[in-house]
Structure 1
Amino acid sequence: MLKSRILFLSAFFTSIVYFSWRTFFTLPIDESIGELVCGFLLLLAELVGFIEALNQYQSRLDFNEPAKPDVELDRYPHVDVLIATYNEDMELLRKTINGCKNMDYPDKNKVHIYLCDDKNRWQIRSLAKEMQIGYITRKEPVDAKAGNYNNALLFTDSPLIATFDADMIPMHDFLMALVPFFFLEETIHKKIGFIQSPQSFYNLDLFQYNLFSETTVPNEQDFFFRHVQLIRNKNNSAIYTGSNTILSREALEKAGGFYTKVITEDLATGLAIQSAGFQCYATASVHANGLAPTDLDNLFKQRERWARGCIQTFRKMKVFRRKGLSLSQKHSYFMALVYWYTPMRRFIFIMAPILYVLFHVTLLKASFGEILLIWLPYALLYNKALSSLTGRIRISRLSNIYDTILFPHLLFTIMLETLGIEKRSFHVTGKDKVSVSLSYKIRTIIPHLLLIVLSSASIIMCLYHWLLSGSSKFMFILFWLLVNLYNLLMAVFFVLGRKSYRTSERIKVILPLTIKYNKEILTTSTFDLSEGGISVLFDFPVYIPVDQNLDITIQNEDSRYCCSLSGKIVHITELKSKWNYAISFTSVSSENLLILYHILYDRIPVHPKKVASQSSFYDDFTRNLHSRGQKNIFSTRKLPRISLQTVLFTTEGKPVTLINFNYEFAFFKLTQVKLYTMTVVIDQEQNLVMECILNDDKKAGCLYKILNSETLAKNPLFLNYLNVWMQEYQANKKTLSMPQKYSTPRDEFTDMDFIKDDYVEMDSSKI
């Protein structure tokens, strides 16, 4: 704690020194009016960033998350659960309804679930009937989501109201975790308006996925929900974000219902509740999970709506003059407004060195010595303090990348909204996986590409002037340009994207699992799980016949859920020292599908919670370059290919080298003439042999069909030999002198090998 305080105080002191120097000694006051204006805008952009950080630091000193009170079970009140929908897919809604019905509560008769359909669709009405929940609709969908909820208030009467977006699936503990907070009013003597839990996501957001940062960077929204929101608890300015929330009906009525005059009804409604005198809190613990936008268009439209809505809310609700808000609350909401002007600041930071180098516009006057003495300590300590302040949920480098990605799409939107030119249409963020076209991507990155060209030209000119004049100040300008260029290149990487091959999200989770087939029972654990399939890990490469139908039973960690379904193996890969069997589900009953949804989504996502230490300028950039240059190779191997390099002998005493093996086929290197049929001795005393017939003659060896494969696969002695051979291979792996073609993951046992084999007794069309 003392170390952190010293860091923050040092950062604060160097910041005061830096901004004093910038204000009084670096502005180009003896240059033209245009240059002075540009210099002032640059200083203002820097100063706003410092004020934002200072605001976080001051609030962090009193980081506030209320303690949940203990409440007698019979005191839990009635709750109306409202699920807002407009055009979402029926299966998406089924998952959310399924989660809502699964919520624990002392008396479930007090939980009333309603599907609020703003398009009056008969399919959704049927879904509500099938799932045995209420259905509320209206003739005209005026006032968008706010109007939808206000309409629902007319048909419900519970004292508490939980609101969920169509994709947000509550965990079973949602109500039990949040409802008790409403009893805080007995101790703080102030009525509770709403309790906001984080919006968590079970899929990777686009920033994680497109930048290959799924293992190194948290969800981009985590910074707001796990850090900013808790800071705002201090002065009762936590933001209502529309979902994963429980609100007081009394508070809503006092606030005039859900606010309808802006496109971000949630922000405005929460502000109205707080100004009506109600205490509101945000919590850090996750109790519901949803889908982050999966395509660029929906992401940009979502952020555009948030930006416009925040500016509209501040203007229409007259925050500075609004009665019922304290000075600190007004300041807090003002800082939320200031955040949405970040695109303007980012544009200034990118253009400033370009203007100086290419167009000779002086924005600040300073010597290299002054920069080294004043700016460098400030920059180092400021970034270190900011990283420490956020607990590495966010670091300034990532913020700069995110801002660079978004600013071209928000810049004019913000300017228009600031001038009062509104966009009243409400865009529902799409949740379907949509592949944007190449032409859309090119149009999107045109601003970034233009700035890359200008920055690159500036770098060349900067180097030229530096070499020509020998002035060290160009080192600072060069550094600035290189950082901007890095951010712009990362923005281009982001927009170019990354192809998604999965139809459903894969969730990494280790759960007990049983596989049954042909009187065989295998017990293992999952590696990951999705709605369409599962991958399981085995310590030993077990033999499961190709296209064998498998009966699978999965349990969650505390045995709350148990799901039974059927599947077939689609591919097998070696994963370090284990074997990964990917299974595609072929049959799932409707009842078990709902249980599978519980197993998948009734859990906290396992995405990173902090920025990893290996996330750096160099690491992130090279990872993107390397990953984009790689070709995705998808295995279709349905049997485990086991590398061995074991010397055996035929019954005639001829030596053969077993290079690799997959139970049904074996690849041998022969020292003499190839044999059409051969019997390979494994244990002469036990009469354990491998009966083989030639399947294909390859340049480096021969591929043989194993005629007694099933017998061998069930023989404990053979499996013991196989295990010994595998261990010997691993021990000698580094010293083996193998032909180059076998040191690569080339697959001798492809599907074509099976299809063309006259001795395989299976329907090859199914492979």
Structure 2
Amino acid sequence: MPEWRLGPWLTRLLVAVGIVLCAMVVFTPFELYAQLGFAFTTFLAAYVINRFTTGRLATLILIGISIVTSLRYLYWRLTSTLGFETNVDALFGYGLLAAELYTILVLLLSYFQSAWPLKRKPVPLPDDVDLWPSVDIFIPTYNEPLDVVSQTALTALAHDWPAHRFNIYVLDDGNRPEFKAFCEQAGVGYITRDNNRHAKAGNINEALKVTNGEYVAIFDCDHVPTRSFLQIVMGWFLLDPKLAMLQTPHVFFSPDPLEQNLEVFKKVPNEGKLFYGLTQDGNDLWNATFFCGSCAVLRRSALLDVGGVAVESVTEDALTALKMNRKGYNTAYLAIPLAAGLATESLSRHVGQRIRWARGMAQIFRSHNPLIGKGLSLAQRLCYASAALHFFYGLPRLVFLTAPLAYLFFGAHVFNASALLIMAYAVPHIVHALLTNSRMQGKYRHTFWNEVYETVLAWYIMLPTLATLVSPNKARFNVTQKGGVIEQDYFDWELSRPYIALLSLNIIGFIVGFVSLVFYADSWALMWTLIMNLGWTLHNIVISSASLAVAGERKQIRQAPRVVSNLVATIQTQGGYRFACETTDFSQFGLGVRTTGQLPLRVGEQVWVSVFRNEEEAMFPARVVFVGDNKLGMQFDELSIAQQAELAKVTFARADTWALFWADGEKDSAWVAMKSIGHISLQGFKVLGREANQFVRSRFARLFASTTK
């Protein structure tokens, strides 16, 4: 049967009619009960659509309902709630309104980005390998330890690509002799320079001058690629001669500080998974994929055409992609995990990295504003603007975390409307946004977790982003250190001060509001106003204390994180006995195995461990360091460079390693997320209580010791 499609004019007519109908809904004024009826109708429709339908059309309908309810709330807010009676009311009221305007703008832009992810598939390469292009693999490094960089370099050697058509270069901005010696032994290139101008961007640009591959693949020094990386991504470049850059996801096989300290690793999607799982795929539809500095391939000619990697921003990667799009080049995203790296180990490093990102995007918005200038389509401008505006959430988030205190402490009326009418308009806006985002983002961001992520960083990115808007050229690149250990649990008092202040203010505000509700609520209007503000404050207490729990750093004493993986393996003893087993995890320094029975091995015994890739066997000397019920832990003896490369080939470089890792995670459920964050909130109180008790006791002990001398 023929496929029926709407013609362009009929499509435009239907869109125009839809806009008119939506405008009628948005601008029609309702009294309280009519608005409650409207809210109930939209809730019922959204529930039925979300519960009983599948497919993209249902998602688009939910987006439409969410947009209408949010714009209806905004119109009502602007026309019916701003008649402030005092300067205090106006100060707090307009501050809250500005935060709401920002939030709704970002919500609309995120819908635009994510409504229709492209879901690009790989393009096969020609059967004739002589037609495959030449590729230079760059691994920039500055101050990272050798064992981190060597793992990436050795894994890159396993690429399934003609040996004469790719080269690997370690770009050492630290100019370290031991790195040069390693590269000579491993058979990879080593490039350094006599200065560190423009940091990572300058390092790459210098390497471009002394290499000549048609394409450049860039990996951060802790990002280890699979052997299939080039085979999967390069086909698109041969198909599209205007393609300048293809980005793949950043996957992390170690937990970031939030995952580690809150014990949610592989249970709750991390902060970056939404961007790499959905947002970038949505950007790809509009030819607005961002270069993210690693796990990407760039066409050398296009990169040189825009002057190399951009040096005008500390987020040099995003600005480079922006320049490419302005020049008319295409950028693409392939949502297949083909490399993985180390997350930041501590909260302080995590915050420092996000501050740099926020400064860089503020630089781009200030000095290279995507909304103005030539070369971009409207869709590209919106995608880049959304990315830049996202990092301005610091101030709005702090406003939302303190807004009810304006009423509880100062009696300020930030809404010139009754509490019931506020809830009748605000609740549909909030609930529909949560429901729609849960449907769109559920695999990549769980409900309510965005508030925890933003609260942890809000104070620290607020001032840098605002300062960069004023003085964009003062921001400086800082290297995010990777690798290392945390020798013992500790509480980061310095970083936790903003969380403690927010938590304390909201607790005091809740007490004040509760006392007012019990003793002074002499009317229904006052009672509902207090209840609304108390509910809001309670929510802020939960989010603030959950954020506080992140400051409780947990011990991490392993030299390298273990990657969970079930691989076929055998163990051979010194006496020649051989036992079949499978791995439970591995790292560059050791592995764990599961056996079918208790093996006659003891701690300290020397063995040979074989790991299999199909019919290929790789054998390594090891020492038993742990014996449990049908489980063994082993540490490799000192391996030669050749053995390290072989180990990387059968472990880190396996084509399916990171795809399986990426797929892990629990399904989003608002109720489960609420309980989880509630539990973490209690954990935050416990951490603070324990640390405060220890702090007071240590101070008293010092005071007692000084008085008895």
Asked whether the two chains share a fold, i.e. TM above 0.5, the reply is yes
1:220 aligned to 255, 268, 271, which one? Answer: 271
* Structure 1 contact 514–522 (Cα < 8 Å) conserved: yes
1 CA distance for matches of 2:444 and 2:532? 29
**Structure 1 pair 212–627 and aligned structure 2 pair: CA distance change class (3 A):** farther
SS at the partner of 2:570? strand
Inter-partner Cα distance in structure 2 for 1:158 and 1:516: 44
Distance 1:60 1:427 in 2: 31
Instruction: Render the CA deviation track for 1:107-144: whole Å, top value 9, x for unaligned.
Output: 22010222212232222222221111222222122121
Q: Deviations over 1:551-575 (max 9, x none)?
A: 221224x3456232222142314xx
Deviation readout 1:318-356 (Å, 9 max, x if unpaired): 433332122322222111111011111101101101122
Match of 1:489 in 2: 545
Alpha-carbon distance between aligned partners in 2 of 1:85 and 1:546, rounded to the nearest angstrom? 37
User: Which of the numbers 162, 170, 174 marks the counterpart of 2:225?
Assistant: 170
The reply to whether residue 69 of structure 1 matches residue 123 of structure 2 is yes
2:179 match: secondary structure: helix
The offset of 1:600, in angstroms, is: 3.6
Question: Closer, same or farther in 2 for the Cα pair 1:396/1:53, shift >3 Å?
Answer: farther
Give runs of aligned pairs for residues 637-656 of structure 1, distance below 5 A.
none
* C-alpha separation in 2, matches of 1:483 and 1:322: 42
Partner of 2:282: 231
Say if 1:511 and 1:334 are closer, same or farther in 2 by CA, change over 3 A.
Answer: same
- The letter for the 1-side match of 2:262 is L
Contact map agreement 1:308 1:413 (CA 8 A) in 2: yes
Q: Structure 1 residue 447: deviation in Å? A: 1.3
* Higher fraction of strand: 1
C-alpha displacement at 1:453, in angstroms? 1.0
- Give the 3 Å change call, closer, same or farther, for CA 546–111 of structure 1 in structure 2: closer
Tell me which moved more, 313-322 or 264-273: 313-322
Look up the match of 1:24. Answer: 79
Partner residue in 1 for 2:445? 394
Cα gap change, 1:561 to 1:256, in 2 (>3 Å): farther
CA contact (8 A) 1:211 1:497 kept: no
The answer to whether structure 1 residue 385 and structure 2 residue 432 are counterparts is no
What secondary structure, in the 3-state scheme, does the structure 2 residue paired with 1:337 have? helix
Query: Which region of structure 1 is more displaced relative to structure 2, 400-409 or 127-136?
Result: 127-136
Q: Cα distance, 1:12 vs. partner?
A: 2.6
In 2, the alpha carbon distance for the partners of 1:352 and 1:409 equals 19
Aligned match of 2:189? 134
For residues 228 and 441 of structure 1, the distance between their equivalents in structure 2, rounded to whole angstroms, comes to: 32
State the distance in 2 between where 1:561 and 1:46 align.
60
In structure 2, the CA distance between the partners of 1:533 and 1:98, relative to structure 1 (3 Å rule), is closer
8 Å Cα contact 2:135-2:215 kept in structure 1: yes
Q: Which residue of 2 aligns with 1:116?
A: 171
- Name the SS for the 2:661 alignment partner: coil
Q: Which residue of 2 aligns with 1:480?
A: 536
1:104 corresponding residue in structure 2: 160
SS at match of 1:135: strand
Q: What letter corresponds to residue 523 of structure 1 in structure 2?
A: A
Larger Rg: 1
Deviations 1:484-540 (A, max 9, x none): 111111111101122223232112111122122234332122222233333222344
- Please tell me the residue identity of whatever aligns with 1:42: L
Equivalent residues of 1:466, 1:472 under 8 A apart: no
Aligned mates of 1:154, 1:323 — CA distance in 2: 29
3-state DSSP class of the match of 2:336? coil
Which residue does 2:496 correspond to in 1? 445
Q: 1:60 aligns with which of 94, 100, 114?
A: 114
Is residue 582 of structure 2 the alignment partner of residue 525 of structure 1? yes
Residue of structure 1 in register with 2:59 after alignment: 4
Does the 8 Å contact 1:251/1:276 carry over to 2?
no
Paired residue for 1:515, among 554, 557, 571? 571
> 1 or 2 for the larger relative contact order (CA 8 Å, sep ≥6)?
2
Q: Specify the alignment match of 2:90 in structure 1.
A: 36
> 1:443 corresponds to which letter in structure 2?
E
User: Distance in 2 between the 1:265 and 1:624 partners?
Assistant: 37
User: TM-score if structure 1 supplies the norm length?
Assistant: 0.76
The residue identity in structure 2 corresponding to 1:232 is N
Measured in 1, the distance between the counterparts of 2:576 and 2:652 equals 32
Match of 1:334 in 2: 385
Letter of the 1:502 partner, please give it. Answer: R
Mapped to 1, the partners of 2:404 and 2:106 lie a distance apart of 23
Whether 2:326 is the aligned partner of 1:271: answer no
Identity of aligned residues (%): 26
Q: How far has the Cα of 1:629 moved from its partner?
A: 7.8
1:250-278 CA distance string (max 9 Å, x none): 11122111211222211111111111110
Q: 1:154-173 CA distances to partner (integer Å, 9 max, x unpaired)?
A: 11122211111111111101
Deviates more, 1:5-14 or 1:469-478: 5-14
Deviation at 1:378, TM superposition (A): 2.6
Equivalent AA in structure 2 for residue 571 of structure 1: V
Matched residue SS, 1:357: helix
CA contact (8 A) 2:251 2:341 kept: yes
CA contact (8 A) 2:113 2:383 kept: no
Which residue type is aligned with residue 373 of structure 2? Answer: R
Residues in 2 aligned to 1:245 and 1:270: alpha-carbon distance in whole angstroms: 11
Is 1:593 the equivalent of 2:653?
no
| Contact residue 84 and residue 416 of structure 2 kept, 8 A | no
Which residue matches 1:284? Answer: 335
**After the TM superposition, which residues 417-428 of structure 1 pair with which residues of structure 2 at under 5 Å, given as runs?**
417-420=468-471, 422-428=473-479
* 1:85–1:116 Cα contact (<8 Å) kept: yes
Does structure 1 conserve the Cα–Cα contact (< 8 Å) formed by 2:109 and 2:382? no
- Aligned residue number for residue 80 of structure 1: 136
Q: Distance in 2 between matches of 1:586 and 1:553?
A: 14
Change (3 A) 1:626 1:425: closer
Supply the AA of the counterpart residue of 1:20.
Y
Q: Deviations over 1:695-724 (max 9, x none)?
A: xxxxxxxxxxxxxxxxxxxxxxxxxxxxxx
Tell me the TM-score normalized by structure 2.
0.82
Hey, what does 1:49 align to over in structure 2?
103
Is 2:490–2:552's contact at 8 Å kept on the other side of the alignment?
A: no
Q: For the Cα contact (< 8 Å) 1:197–1:284, is it kept in 2?
A: yes
After superposition, the Cα gap between the structure-2 partners of 1:370 and 1:622, relative to the gap in structure 1 and judged at 3 Å, is same
Unaligned segments of structure 1, at least 5 residues: 574-578, 631-767
Aligned residue among 154, 158, 161 for 2:213: 158
Q: Identify the residue that residue 15 of structure 1 maps to in structure 2.
A: 70
2: CA distance between counterparts of 1:548 and 1:135?
38
Q: Are the aligned partners of 1:568 and 1:586 in contact in 2 as well (CA < 8 Å)? A: no
- After superposition, the Cα gap between the structure-2 partners of 1:615 and 1:597, relative to the gap in structure 1 and judged at 3 Å, is farther
User: Residue 634 of structure 2 aligns to a residue in which SS?
Assistant: strand
Q: Do 2:489 and 2:553's aligned partners in 1 also have CA atoms closer than 8 Å?
A: no
Cα distance per residue 1:558-595 (max 9 Å; x no partner): 3456232222142314xxxxx33333444544433332
- Count of residue correspondences: 618
What is the rounded CA distance, in whole Å, between the counterparts of 2:330 and 2:199 in structure 1?
27
**Alignment check: 8 A CA contact 1:163 1:243 kept:** yes
Bigger Cα displacement from structure 2, 544-553 vs 446-455: 544-553
Note if 1:570 corresponds to 2:621: no
Given that residues 565 and 589 in structure 1 are in contact (C-alpha distance below 8 angstroms), is that contact kept between their aligned partners in structure 2? Answer: no
**Residue number in structure 2 paired with 1:646:** none
Give the CA deviation at 1:184: 2.7
Q: Distance in 2 between matches of 1:439 and 1:421?
A: 36
